[in-house]
Amino acid sequence: MDSQHLNPSSLKSRFTATFLRALIKINAQKPISSSSPREIFQRYRRIKVAADKSMAYSVRSRRTWSRATLWKLRSRSRSRLASSGRRSSVKTRTTTTTTTTTTATNHRAAIVEKTSHEKENKEDHVGLAVQAEELRELVPGGESMDLCNLLDETAHYIKCLTTQVQVMKKIANLYSLE
């Protein structure tokens, strides 16, 4: 496994590099021993976002789900910057995030409505409409894909998620060892 990890161009190493960089940056921003639950939650959120983001970056735009994730993150940060400015309070940030999420959801809902009709026609034929919908919600960017591509994306997404979990586990171990 080590030899594989050393492969500089593998998904795993790309993700690890990006994620570690982001993690260092986050740790530098705030002191680790923040006590307020709100702050801790914020930090958790930032880390999670960093993890997803770095994973999406590692995949670039080769996949629909990575493109969707990157787009989501970028639009969120853009709106955040636009509305609340950089140094906003925690509360504002949270609300902005929620609003952005809602707008994104609305947008996505529109797309879903538009394409769901034809999709349902096709999928009822195969009889898997319900699960397909659920899968679409899970996989980022899955709303506008037919079942065939959706399964494709799901497979790649699963692969990347497992990589992510693996790397994060190892990092967590390192942390806990200290």
Partner 1 sequence: MQPCSREMQAMNSLLSPTQPIPLQDLQPNGNSGTHQAQIHNPQFDPTSSHDDFLDQMLSTLPSCSWSDLKSPWDPPKSDETPPSNPDNNAGFHYDEILASKLRQHQINGGGGGTTAAMKMMMQQQMLLPGRPIAAAGGGGLTMPLHNDIVDGSSFKSPNQQGGEGSVQALYNGFGAGPLHGTNNQSPNQPQHFHHPQGGNMQTQSFGATAGTVMNQSQASGSTTGGTPAQPKQRVRARRGQATDPHSIAERLRRERIAERMKALQELVPNANKTDKASMLDEIIDYVKFLQLQVKVLSMSRLGGAAAVAPLVADMPPEGGDCVQTTAGGGGSLQRNSNGNQPSANNDSLTVTEHQVAKLMEEDMGSAMQYLQGKGLCLMPISLATAISTATCHSRNPMMNKGSSSNHPLLQSNGDGPSSPSMSVLTVQSATMGNGGLDGSAKDAASVSKP
- Point out which residues bind partner 1 (CB under 8 A): 1, 4, 7, 9-12, 23, 32-33, 35, 37-38, 40-41, 43-44, 47-48, 51-52, 62-63, 122, 125-128, 131-132, 134-135, 138-139, 147-148, 151-152, 154-159, 161-166, 168-169, 171-173, 175-178
Beta carbons of 160 and 59 less than 8 angstroms apart: yes
Report in angstroms how near the CB of residue 109 gets to partner 1 at its nearest: 20
Report in angstroms how near the CB of residue 69 gets to partner 1 at its nearest: 12
Report in angstroms how near the CB of residue 74 gets to partner 1 at its nearest: 20
* Local structure of 140: helix, strand or coil: coil
| Cα 154 from chain centre | 14
Q: Which residue's CB is nearer to partner 1, number 110 or number 161?
A: 161
Distance separating alpha carbons of residues 165 and 51, to the nearest angstrom = 10
Distance separating alpha carbons of residues 115 and 19, to the nearest angstrom = 35
Residue 171: closest CA among 8, 27, 3, 10: 27
Report in angstroms how near the CB of residue 82 gets to partner 1 at its nearest: 25
